[in-house]
Amino acid sequence: MARWFKSTELVVRGNRLLRFYSYYSLFLALLLIITDAVDLQNVIIGGKLPHVFLIGSSVYVIMASLFAAIANREPDPQQATSYVFIEIAILAALMHASGGLDTGFSSLILIPLMMSNLLAPGVLGYGVAAWTTIAVFYTQHIWPGSYNTQEIVNSGLYGFLCFTLAWLTQTLSRRLNSALTLASDQATRIKRLQRFSQQALLDLPNGVIACDTHDRILFYNQQARQWFSLAEGSSLPPTLLQAEADQVIEVRNEKLIFRRVALNASEPGDYLIYVEEAARIAAEAQQFKLASLGRLTASIAHEIRNPLSALRQAAQLLAETPYLQEGEQQLTQIVEQHCMRINRTIEDILQLSRRNKAVAETLRLAPWLQHFHDQFRNLTHGQTFHFSVHCNDSLLVQFDPDHLQQILHNLCANGLRYALKSAPDNARLTLIAQALNERQVQLDIIDNGSGVPSEQRTHLFEPFYTTEHNGTGLGLYLCRELCEANQAYIQYHPIPNGTCFRIIMRTS
């Protein structure tokens, strides 16, 4: 029997249909017993065997009530099918008590037959058709002992009708089952794709916000929530409402690029807002720029350095000539000095062009800065100055350690040079790191030099801009490029009695 009920998984799928059928069955049973109670002369129903009809309708009410209770609590395939067998037997008995196939009960019996084949297709459905045929033959011929030829033919035709309806209903059931299975598979696939899409949106480094035509928020990812105060169903923040396409907005000391995209395949007026970090876009552009510069400098390096080396060597050989006068010796020194200066410029450009892509690591800033402090002290051995580091032990940053080493060495070397000029006996360098917010750390490089005049500040990070006679003008430019490659940025911060360069870095 368990094998027969294997195909009745549709009973579980059709719980709602099964409950509706239980309500119909209970309603029919109550209608029959009420009609029998009102029809005292048994004119409408139960005219042939009134007592049998009364007993049968009473049993029908009891069984229908039990079935309705079971179907609404926890539908079970075996119990539902067992009830159909009992119901058909009761209806066959009531049909006999009312007068036979000519009454309307013959149509009522077909309803549970079709329902059983709809809910339980297969061998069991045809078993219900066979049971219905047997029940009709028994109640119409064996029970009353009537074997009229015409009535037997009618009963046979009725049995054929039962099997025909069983086949038609099962065919319909299979098609419905295929359609439901396909719809279920498609719904499952769509839900999976929705979960994938939602997770992909949540993990994007850019902020994504979906809004309707009334600027109400429908969806946002985690990155957008870190930048703005958002809630589903609420209105967009004023910062985003007033922003224009490709406008740079500043939120929590971060520069963000705003972009709005209309959704043509959605409801009218729906749109998406993309918010991207300007620092990250600048870092990507910087990578392309460095790559282009690398190709350019690689092609011209030999064209400049080789003749420059020959020129310098010739100047040195000329300086060793014994018959040169003092003024001519000075001219050779000038040539050699300018050759060295051009060579330094080429070295700085090559160093800039050889930048590999930033490989950011999580750095515990306090011990790293202390290690840099010790290294810088060793490199400047013999120079008298005070060098201090102030950093919380818990600060973590995302930065390429080689890039950070070059940036700090350049800034500290410049700061020390100006500090020694301004205060030879009290030169000071200070590194101060502190958390700016939960996403950023600021590092200040401070010296007590003469500072930067206001008219020079706008040109600080321009390439080849220098106020030093022997400078190349690429030091601060190189620092800025390396910061942008690590999604950080550097700025000059004016302070009294000194100079401060501030680097804003990402936390880990």
Best CA proximity match to 273, nearest among 212, 357, 182: 212
Best CA proximity match to 28, nearest among 85, 71, 88: 88
Best CA proximity match to 276, nearest among 309, 249, 298: 249
Which residues have a Cβ under 8 Å from the Cβ of 428 and sit 6 or more positions away? 385, 386, 387, 388, 419, 446, 447, 448
Residues 320/379, Cβ–Cβ less than 8 Å:
no
What is the spatial distance between Cα 90 and Cα 101, in angstroms, rounded to a whole number?
14
pLDDT, tens digit, for every residue of 184-217? 888 888 888 877 777 777 777 788 888 888 888 8
Structurally, at CATH architecture level, domain 361-507 sits in 2-Layer Sandwich (3.30)
* Cα distances (Å, whole numbers) of residue 482 to 94, 186, 380, 405: 94, 50, 24, 11
Tell me what pLDDT residue 446 has. Answer: 93
Tell me what pLDDT residue 205 has. Answer: 72
- Regions of the chain with pLDDT less than 50: 1-12
Residues 461/378, Cβ–Cβ less than 8 Å:
no
* Cα distances (Å, whole numbers) of residue 186 to 180, 189, 193: 10, 5, 10
Tell me what pLDDT residue 349 has. Answer: 64
Residues 119/57, Cβ–Cβ less than 8 Å:
no
Tell me what pLDDT residue 383 has. Answer: 85
Strand partners, 505: 441
Phi, psi at 338, each rounded to 5°: -70, -30
Strand partners, 391: 433
Structure tokens belonging to residue 32:
């029959």
Best CA proximity match to 177, nearest among 225, 117, 229, 128: 117
pLDDT, tens digit, for every residue of 359-396? 888 999 999 999 999 988 888 887 888 999 999 988 99
What is the spatial distance between Cα 38 and Cα 165, in angstroms, rounded to a whole number?
34
How do strand 386-391 and strand 428-437 relate by DSSP bridges?
A: parallel
Answering whether pTM is above 0.85, one says no
Dihedral (Cα; 341, 343, 345, 349), 10-degree rounding: -170
Domain ranges of the chain: 4-185, 207-277, 282-353, 361-507
Secondary structure percentages of the chain, helix, strand, coil, to 5 = 60, 15, 25
Tell me what pLDDT residue 447 has. Answer: 92
Q: How remote is the C-alpha of 270 from its chain's centroid?
A: 19
Coil, strand or helix at 396: strand
What is the spatial distance between Cα 315 and Cα 337, in angstroms, rounded to a whole number?
10
